[in-house]
Amino acid sequence: MNLFFYRLFIFLYAIGVNIASLFNRKARLWKLGRIKLFKRLRKALKPNTSPVIWFHCASLGEFEQGRPLLEKLKLQHPSHKILLTFFSPSGYEVHKNYALADYVFYLPLDGEINARKFLSIVDPRLVVFVKYEFWYFYLRQIKEKQIPLILVSAIFRENQPFFKWYGGLHRMMLQYFSHIFIQDTASKELLKSIQITNTTICGDTRVDRVLEIANNWQSIERIEDFCNNHPVIVAGSTWDEDDEVLNHYVNKNIETRFIIAPHEIDEERLRDCLHIYKHAILYSKYLQEKTIDASINTIIIDNIGTLSRLYKYADICFIGGAFGEDGVHNVLEAAVYNKPIVFGPVFDKFLEAIELEACGAAFSVENILELEEALHDLQGNQKLYTNACEAAKKYIHSRAGATQQILQYIEDNILK
């Protein structure tokens, strides 16, 4: 891709979002969140005289990867201000009041004028981009201003534009980074093949995050009562495609307790869940009821922020997303509790899912029959179950420490 096509992409993207905002809630939030953005940004930062560390995350998942580093930096450099930006509403809307960031904003759409104006207002001492998100004009402007710029928890695949004949602009963007922290050896070798050598393999910072959550775990109101010594399966971040595979097993296994946490919790999605799961109740309603019908075996979680703690109640965890095109969601949140994990067939872009399956902690299934077989095997074969639990535990603890490694680099080279 050359610069002409990149500019065209940005132009068409803006038009597309404006059209989509007429009927799509997320697109509408994306658009509304950027109205008078520079005015609000300038007003917020104008009184500031402290050094600014700018963290940029595409969305919610990337925030969870950057969060351990952000919190460590805030702890060690309380005199610095943290600016947190998101590209997507799903990240911004959940964390716009995040306490450890001094400022939380949407990132203005990439462009020469926007990038110059944004960096003029923010004037950061350090910029941290998390995993994905490569915006040419922002990265170029950061480089021109000689601001330290690092990429953390990055992972690269051979089919990405960086490694194609047409990826000149993408390769240039990588050259703008002061240092790139990557998750695996394969990524390092790919970058080396295009003469990018300022890299360090340190793993995934999300491992540190899930360990922190597990170590500070707090119970969730009345969930223990619902489980009541029954076998428990927690299905997290589920979509319609996951429901179609799960519902038969859920509806026929009345003695098992199921906790379903849909990825989206709008009214229509929750209504669909209550329709497909025949013996279900919304968690909010369950909290209001002193007793529930004995036939109810399923709770539909209709809040945000409890999933990472819910997995602790499970005997087996099902992770949604892998029956859809985008792939499996966060498997580490479940693995940290030493639980066997089951997910669908689309997980090839997620290193942690690949590795958890390879070590015997996770099981990929193609369809309803394979799902039910995997669940029956894990419940009926104690050796298989125990080995999966041990494999998950070993995997998580062997991969801790990425945050400290990145932090040490920053302390030694940037915030001396």
Which residues are designated catalytic?
A: 62
80 class by beta-carbon count within 10 Å (0-12 exposed, 13-18 middle, 19+ buried): middle
For the chain, state the CA radius of gyration.
Answer: 22
* Separation CA 89–CA 54 (nearest Å): 18
DSSP letters for 251-286:
HH-TTSEEEEEES--SHHHHHHHHHHSTTEEEHHHH
Q: Give the pair of three-digit tokens for residue 105.
A: 């904003």
Pairing of strands 257-262, 298-300: parallel
* Separation CA 47–CA 254 (nearest Å): 60
Residue 142 near residue 177 (C-beta atoms within 8 A): no
CB pairs under 8 A, 24+ apart, for 352-355? 352/204, 352/206, 353/322, 353/328, 355/395
Paired residues of 260 in beta bridges:
235, 300
Q: How far out from the chain centre does Cα 346 lie? A: 16
For residue 123, the surrounding DSSP H or E stretch is none
Pick the closest to residue 247 from 263, 231, 232, 258 (CA basis): 258
Pick the closest to residue 215 from 124, 329, 337, 331 (CA basis): 337
DSSP letters for 26-57:
HHHHHHHTTTTHHHHHHHHHTT--S-EEEEEE
Specify the residue for token string 């030694």.
412
37 class by beta-carbon count within 10 Å (0-12 exposed, 13-18 middle, 19+ buried): middle
268 class by beta-carbon count within 10 Å (0-12 exposed, 13-18 middle, 19+ buried): exposed
Paired residues of 200 in beta bridges:
181
